[in-house]
């Protein structure tokens, strides 16, 4: 058996050789294998089974052309994808992203992360991710509908309630899921739980919209309790102003935190007095209803807009990156630490660069990775699948109690596998190992397939 350092070096070299043009994918895998190769070295049961090699080679990748017509009658072409990473513990499950930056590297990283994240929830869901390089910004409702219908015209043959269950992600919310589900229902001539994040009138779960943001704050409060601290009165920086960011802000404010920033791709707003329910309603109106820019918030309330900037230079005890991948670089992490940040909980997927994570951990910042912190969204998607199968509707309160329990459970699993000798919890390591064990055990039981 090789020593772990050699194993890591060789694994990374091979990963680069196999995936030369996929930096985000390599980043996600590299972050995980630093914890898993030593873990496997210490656990003979997992040795020589090529588990990491199998997990980092998706089961299947589907890529296809999406042709659609804009309102002016022009024919437009985009590229669509579905990456089905691993279904060892349940049907493939993961969101669909619409953003011009979408490419195979980003979707492979997301599908890989999703596999471990879904495992952490304790629910029977495999990992997948999909999307298209389509930019919904500035498109009419009719254009978005035609695009969604064209995408599903191809994708529908590869998904299904027991095969692969997509949901939303960046650029895909209730409107887009509705259009995609409508087309899927027509083509398959069946009403099933094939999508989650559906409207509550047609099979969606109460609490799904809020679940990712609320879940991130629930796990944050577990971390604070672990450290005998309270979220009330703490200053919180949040990036993004989409689904995850806004509901993370809402729950943090409800629990007494002072949330001072939100952002979009144009820059960030800083409200030194902190957001409240009325101010968050204004953000929801601007970003969800009008699909407008966050800087307009400053027309309504006393706040600063910092064009083209990220919020990490504002002093606060807690940071919740909730926008996109790699939005915290090492220089941002340095600034956060210097300004007294003690907790960083990832609402987004992989918002923190690897060297920035190293700096945070070396500075003893309590860092919770996205695969643990934002798992509340897919967890409630799992609950939506259950309700669809049972033909039942649970109340918002029932769903919220289950979400809270799942987030508490994830915290416990991370603590079990990430505790260090001095009591510090390396949540990243804990999440990687706990997520891996369940998938690996299933893979061993299922044989070489």
The residue sitting closest to ligand NDP, measured at its beta carbon, is 242
Residues 262-291, interacting with ligand NDP (CB under 6 A): 264-266
Scanning 251-259, 299-307, 318-326, 405-413 for contacts with ligand NDP by CB under 6 A, the matching segment is 318-326
CA dist., res. 303 & res. 200, Å (int): 35
The gap between the terminal CA atoms of the chain, to the nearest Å, is 24
Q: Is 374 in the site for ligand NDP (CB under 6 A)?
A: yes
Instruction: Between 37 and 148, name the residue whose CB sits nearer to ligand NDP.
Output: 148
Scanning 1-9, 40-48, 227-235, 238-246 for contacts with ligand NDP by CB under 6 A, the matching segment is 238-246
Interface residue with ligand NDP, options 22, 31, 164, 169 (CB under 6 A): 169
Closest among 184, 102, 127, 118 to 151, alpha carbons compared: 184
Interface residue with ligand NDP, options 88, 244, 286, 345 (CB under 6 A): 244
Interface residue with ligand NDP, options 56, 194, 349, 426 (CB under 6 A): 349
Instruction: Between 145 and 172, name the residue whose CB sits nearer to ligand NDP.
Output: 172
Interface residue with ligand NDP, options 166, 178, 204, 377 (CB under 6 A): 377
Scanning 178-186, 239-247, 312-320, 388-396 for contacts with ligand NDP by CB under 6 A, the matching segment is 239-247
Interface residue with ligand NDP, options 78, 115, 241, 387 (CB under 6 A): 241
Size of interface with ligand NDP, in residues (CB under 6 A) = 22
Q: Is 91 in the site for ligand NDP (CB under 6 A)?
A: no
Catalytic residues: 129
Q: Is 348 in the site for ligand NDP (CB under 6 A)?
A: yes
Q: Is 323 in the site for ligand NDP (CB under 6 A)?
A: yes
Distances (CA, A) of 428 to 276, 419, 423: 31, 10, 15
Closest among 385, 381, 339 to 363, alpha carbons compared: 339
Interface residue with ligand NDP, options 85, 87, 183, 243 (CB under 6 A): 243
Shortest spacing between CB 327 and ligand NDP, in angstroms: 6
Scanning 24-32, 320-328, 360-368, 428-436 for contacts with ligand NDP by CB under 6 A, the matching segment is 320-328
What does the binding site for ligand NDP look like in residue numbers (CB under 6 A)? 168-171, 212, 240-245, 264-266, 322-324, 347-349, 374, 377
């Amino acid at each position: 058996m090789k020593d772990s350092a050699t194993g890591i070096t060789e694994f990374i070299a091979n990963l680069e050789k196999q995936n030369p043009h996929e930096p985000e994918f390599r980043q996600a895998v590299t972050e995980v294998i630093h914890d898993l190769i030593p873990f496997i070295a210490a656990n003979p049961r997992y040795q020589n089974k090529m588990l990491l090699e199998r997990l980092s080679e998706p089961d299947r990748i589907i890529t296809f052309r999406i042709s659609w017509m804009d309102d002016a009658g022009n024919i437009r072409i985009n590229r669509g994808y579905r990456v089905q990473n691993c279904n060892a513990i349940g049907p493939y499950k993961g969101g669909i992203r619409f953003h011009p930056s979408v490419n195979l590297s980003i979707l492979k990283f997301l599908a890989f992360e999703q596999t471990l994240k879904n495992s952490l929830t304790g629910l029977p869901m495999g990992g997948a991710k999909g999307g298209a390089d389509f930019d919904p910004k500035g498109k009419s409702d009719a254009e978005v509908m035609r695009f969604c219908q064209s995408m599903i015209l191809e994708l529908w043959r590869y998904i299904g309630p027991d095969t692969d269950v997509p949901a939303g992600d960046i650029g895909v919310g209730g409107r887009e899921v509705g259009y995609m589900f409508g087309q899927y229902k027509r083509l398959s001539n069946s009403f099933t739980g094939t999508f989650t994040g559906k409207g509550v009138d047609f099979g969606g779960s109460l609490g799904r919209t809020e679940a990712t943001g609320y879940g991130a704050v629930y796990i944050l409060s577990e971390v604070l309790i672990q450290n005998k601290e309270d979220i009330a009165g703490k200053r919180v920086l949040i990036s993004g102003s989409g689904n995850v960011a806004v509901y993370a802000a809402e729950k943090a404010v409800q629990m007494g935190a002072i949330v001072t920033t939100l952002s979009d791709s144009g820059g960030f707003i800083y409200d030194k007095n902190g957001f409240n329910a009325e101010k968050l309603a204004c953000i929801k109106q601007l970003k969800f209803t009008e699909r407008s820019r966050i800087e307009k918030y400053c027309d309504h309330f006393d706040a600063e807009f910092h064009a083209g900037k990220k919020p990490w230079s504002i002093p606060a005890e807690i940071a919740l990156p909730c926008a996109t991948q790699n939005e915290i670089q090492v220089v941002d992490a340095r600034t956060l630490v210097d300004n007294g940040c003690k907790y960083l909980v990832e609402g987004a997927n992989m918002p923190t660069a690897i060297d920035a994570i190293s700096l945070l951990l070396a500075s003893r910042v309590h860092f919770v990775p996205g695969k643990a912190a934002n798992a509340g969204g897919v967890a409630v998607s799992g609950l939506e699948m259950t309700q669809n199968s049972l033909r039942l509707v649970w109340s918002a309160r029932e769903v919220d109690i289950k979400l809270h329990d799942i987030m508490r459970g994830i915290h416990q699993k991370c603590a079990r596998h990430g505790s260090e000798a001095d009591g510090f919890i390396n949540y990243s390591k804990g999440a990687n190992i706990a997520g891996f064990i369940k998938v690996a055990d299933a893979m061993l039981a299922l044989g070489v397939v």
